[in-house]
Amino acid sequence: MNISPDQTVYWKYGFVEINSTILTTWVLMFVLVVASILINRKLTLGLGRTRWQNTLEIIVTTIIKQLKDVGIDEPRKYIGFLGTLFIFVATASICTMIPGYESPTSSLSTTAALALCVFVAVPIYGIGAKGFVGYLKSYIEPTIIMLPFNIIGEFSRTLALAIRLFGNMMSGTMIIGILLTIAPLLFPIFMIVLGLLTGLVQAYIFSILASVYIAAAVRGIGHE
């Protein structure tokens, strides 16, 4: 039993291989980019909006409101990164309804890559908002004894982000696979529904945690 879509290889040349994870990620990226381009062609301010524009507006305004709730004062600067994280992981989870599809986030490679993006983005946004020295000073808050713990905390947060998303997605597909050998008709349906719910919740959690880390780096602790 293969526990990850990394093991379904479609094409291999030397050490370069196109496996199911990469292919699915490319297809998802293609679909999202093309959909956004097509919808953004005919943006109107009036009341005669297409329903796709309405959908996009709902998504964007909800994300902006969530970012403001979490503590980011200028959500539009960060919504490119954080909104993409949410939409990518959420679309990857929703598409599990399509038969024969395996979510790329059920492979540790994808989730580790996303977590590394967050790991790199937090200092970049922090330095952009507070300057190099200001950002480095935030590691010494509240006292200098906390410096090793803050550094270790950065790494362990990244690891936890990757493993949380990977574990949730992988366990969903694995439990469905195991249940298929026990009760092929009814139980997997419940588990697929549960998998959809946990997929969306985990997408939300991933992006909310990323935005909390960025908010902490941009405004610092104790600046409420």
Nearer to another protein, 60 or 200 (CB): 200
Least distance CB 179 / another protein (angstroms): 15
Query: 17 has which bridge partners?
Result: 12
Least distance CB 22 / another protein (angstroms): 20
Least distance CB 158 / another protein (angstroms): 14
Q: Cα-flanking dihedrals φ and ψ of residue 192, to 5°? A: -70, -40
- DSSP E strands: which ranges in the chain? 9-13, 16-19
DSSP state of 101: -
DSSP state of 18: E
Nearer to another protein, 83 or 157 (CB): 157
Least distance CB 34 / another protein (angstroms): 31
Residues that bind another protein (CB under 8 A): 1, 3, 160, 163-164, 166-168, 170-171, 174, 201-202, 204-205, 208
Nearer to another protein, 151 or 159 (CB): 159
- HSE-up of residue 77 (Cα within 13 Å, Cβ side): 12
Nearer to another protein, 170 or 215 (CB): 170
Q: How far apart are CA 135 and CA 127, in angstroms?
A: 6
Amino acid at residue number 166: F
